[in-house]
Amino acid sequence: MPPRSTLTPEQRQAQLDAKLARIRHRTRALETGQKIILGGMLLNAARRDPEIRRWLLDEAERSVTRDVDRKRLKPLLLELVGLCAEAATRATASPFDAADYIRSQEDADEYLAATRAEGGDEARAHETIRRAGFAVR
């Protein structure tokens, strides 16, 4: 006959709670990893495909409501806005206007910095910033 457990009911409950906490932690870690992979895939697709890029910008505008999240995503979204602006100039007609996404002087400065870093058309970036109602600095 196997030895009887000497754990009290409280100790047994504590063991079960700890085991459950470990399982929950592993599940969250797995889900976080999956989100990172899918996010990377989506970002790569948005950089290549103008339709996905526009959808992602529109979705971010609708869905991301917390200021801290908007601030965290701002450089990335400005990069995508810049790609849209480049595509719009190559197309004969496009409803996209990068000026719609520049809502502060800080946005304008970041848009210009991203344009310069990517070797984009700086004159076009200046025009876009002015159209949005901000100064080129």
Cβ–Cβ under 8 Å, residues 115 and 108:
no
Please count the CA atoms within 13 angstroms of the CA of 41 that sit on its side-chain side.
6
pLDDT digits (tens, 9 = 90+) for 30-41: 999 999 999 999
The per-residue pLDDT for range 49-84, each reduced to its tens digit, is: 888 998 998 898 889 999 899 888 888 888 888 887
Reported pTM: 0.55
In this predicted structure, the answer to whether residue 11 has a pLDDT above a threshold of 70 is: yes
Q: Give the chain's radius of gyration (CA, Å).
A: 24
pLDDT in tens, 91-126: 444 445 677 778 888 888 888 887 787 777 888 888
